[in-house]
Structures are given as C-alpha cells and as structure tokens.
Amino acid sequence: MTKSYLSLELIDKTFERGGTRTEVLKQVSLTVEKGEFISIIGHSGCGKSTLLNIVAGLTQATTGVVLLDGKVVDEPGPDRAVVFQNHSLLPWLTVYENVRLAVDKVFSATRNKQERHEWTMRNLELVQMAHAADKRPSEVSGGMKQRVGIARALAMEPKVLLLDEPFGALDALTRAHLQDQVMQIHATLGNTVLMITHDVDEAVLLSDRIVMMTNGPSARIGEVLDVPLVRPRRRIELASDRTYLKCREAVLKFLYERHRFVEAAE
C-alpha cells in the first residue's frame, strides 16, 4: 500500500457546550497526493472550516488522525500554512513585515538576514505586491491584503497550503483575478493545496478534485468529484467547455438537489 502525502483518517469532531453535544464531523476520511489541488465545498455550517482547522492543527479532532508526510498532525505549524478568510494580517506591521515575521520565524536557523530579506521580497513579487511592501494593511485594498496573506503562507514553504474561503470577502472581479494568480502559483510551485469554498465555479476552475460535504450536524463526505480538465485552464475557454459544465452541474446537483441547505438544521 502506498502512503498518501496527506491523509485524514476517520475524523470525528464533537463539540460540547453546556452539556449538549453537537457532532459536527462524522467519519471523514480523505487522501491527498503531493501537488494536488483539492477543494472542499458544502453549505455553511457543514463543518468544512472545522475540518480545515483540524488539518491546520488549530482544532483537535475528537477521534481520528491526520497524517502529513508520514507524521501525525497534533498542533499548528508552518508546514501547514493557512490563508485565513479575513486575511489576518497584523495591522501594526507593514506588508513586508507581515511576511518577514513568518520568514524570520521559519528560517531563523537555516538562512541569514540577507537571504531572509530576499525570500520575503520574492514571495511578495510572486503575488505582485512588492510595490506595496512598505504600506500597512489598512492602506491597501481587500484583494491586496489577501494576496499578502497568500505570500505570507507561501513564504513558509508549507507542505500543504490551507486556504479557508480565501476569496469569500472579495468582489467578483478581484476574486477572478486572484483565482488566476493562485492557479499560476500552483502551476509554478506545484504546492499541495486544500481549499475551503462555497463557490461552485471557483471549485471547478481550480481543483483537481472536489470534496462535497453533506449538511451538518454529523457532516461527512458525500461525494468526491474528479475534475479532468487539462491545465493550464482559462476561464473564458472553460465557460463553454463540456467537461467544465458537466462538473459544474454535478456539484450544483449535489448541493441543491440531494443536499439542500435546510434552514432548521442551523
């Protein structure tokens, strides 16, 4: 049996508050190969963010285990860099300093000052934010902040990049632009990526596989869809592509026919 790069094995997560137990995730198992781009899609409240937090190590699974590159994940670490939904840049640091903080922490022993500076700038260039290196997060747009968040995560050279609805708070045009950028970075660096999203087009456009979650409580993986589209992908050409439309339809059917969002479940 060949071992997968990242594997989630029988993850259960139960929250307990004031004597009432809520089972959020039930028996979630998933394997991800190196270099794969995986999207996790589901209605809000289905526990997809919880799942990502478990992989990140920010939340502990009640039972089950996450293995990354043969090692058990039990605490957060820079090998699983997270791009948070609301960018989470530190507002008192400049764009450069935000990335540099991560670089200094991760490479304190292995790279000297000059190398760390160059590495910080290289990652800012990768997301085309080098020109705003000395600005504070409050001085740049939402899309730019998210790009810095991505640069910070990439700069840690993570084994797996975790994206928690990274473009959810952005307008459609900025979002499309950032999606293209993420695709390009993925093509260049070959990162392993796990992305949470609730945007069907985004999932189909970016992913190699789409993991569809059933509604909570006790959410599980309902279906995993392969997206056999060749890369590089271009959104305009895909708009009328048969495979693209079929994948899109499959996800839509899953979300809106078989697992419709029930308001009462919230």
Partner 1 sequence: MSVTNLKLKPQATLQPSAQVIALGHTMKPGIDRRLSRLAAQTATNLLPLLVTLTLFTLAWQLICASPDSSLPAPSRVFEESWELIAHPFYTGQGVDQGLFWHVLASLQRVALGYAMAAAVGVALGTLVGQSALAMRGLDPIFQVLRTVPPLAWLPLSLAAFQDGNPSAIFVIFITAIWPIIINTAVGIRNIPQDYQNVARVLRLNGLEYFAKIMLPAAAPYIFTGLRIGIGLSWLAIVAAEMLIGGVGIGFFIWDAWNSSLISDIIVALIYVGIVGFLLDRIIALIGRAITRGTASA
Please report whether residue 71 would count as binding partner 1 according to CB under 8 A: no
Contacting partner 1 within 155-184 (CB under 8 A) = 156
Least spacing, CB of residue 140 vs partner 1, in Å: 11
CA angle 9–32–71, rounded 5-degree value: 60
DSSP assignment of 32-85 equals E-TT-EEEEE--TTSSHHHHHHHHHTSS--SEEEEEETTEE--S--GGG-EE-T
83: tokens are 């791009």
How many residues bind partner 1 (CB under 8 A)? The answer is: 25
Please report whether residue 73 would count as binding partner 1 according to CB under 8 A: no
Residue closer to partner 1 (CB basis): 53 or 207: 53
- 199 neighbors 144 (Cβ within 8 angstroms): no
Taking CB under 8 A as the binding criterion, the range among 1-9, 88-96, 186-194, 235-243 that sits at the site for partner 1 is: 88-96
What amino acid occupies position 210?
I
In this structure, is the dihedral angle defined by the CA atoms of residues 76, 77, 83 and 84, taken in order, positive or negative? positive
Least spacing, CB of residue 138 vs partner 1, in Å: 5
- 78 neighbors 105 (Cβ within 8 angstroms): yes
Please report whether residue 222 would count as binding partner 1 according to CB under 8 A: no
Taking CB under 8 A as the binding criterion, the range among 23-31, 72-80, 195-203, 243-251 that sits at the site for partner 1 is: 72-80
Please report whether residue 76 would count as binding partner 1 according to CB under 8 A: yes
Please report whether residue 105 would count as binding partner 1 according to CB under 8 A: yes
Least spacing, CB of residue 255 vs partner 1, in Å: 28
Please report whether residue 91 would count as binding partner 1 according to CB under 8 A: yes
Gap between the Cα atoms of 31 and 50, Å rounded: 17
Please report whether residue 137 would count as binding partner 1 according to CB under 8 A: yes
Residue closer to partner 1 (CB basis): 142 or 222: 142
CA angle 254–46–202, rounded 5-degree value: 55
Gap between the Cα atoms of 179 and 143, Å rounded: 11
Residues at the contact surface with partner 1, assessed by CB under 8 A = 56-58, 75-78, 80-82, 84, 86, 88-92, 101-102, 105-106, 136-138, 156
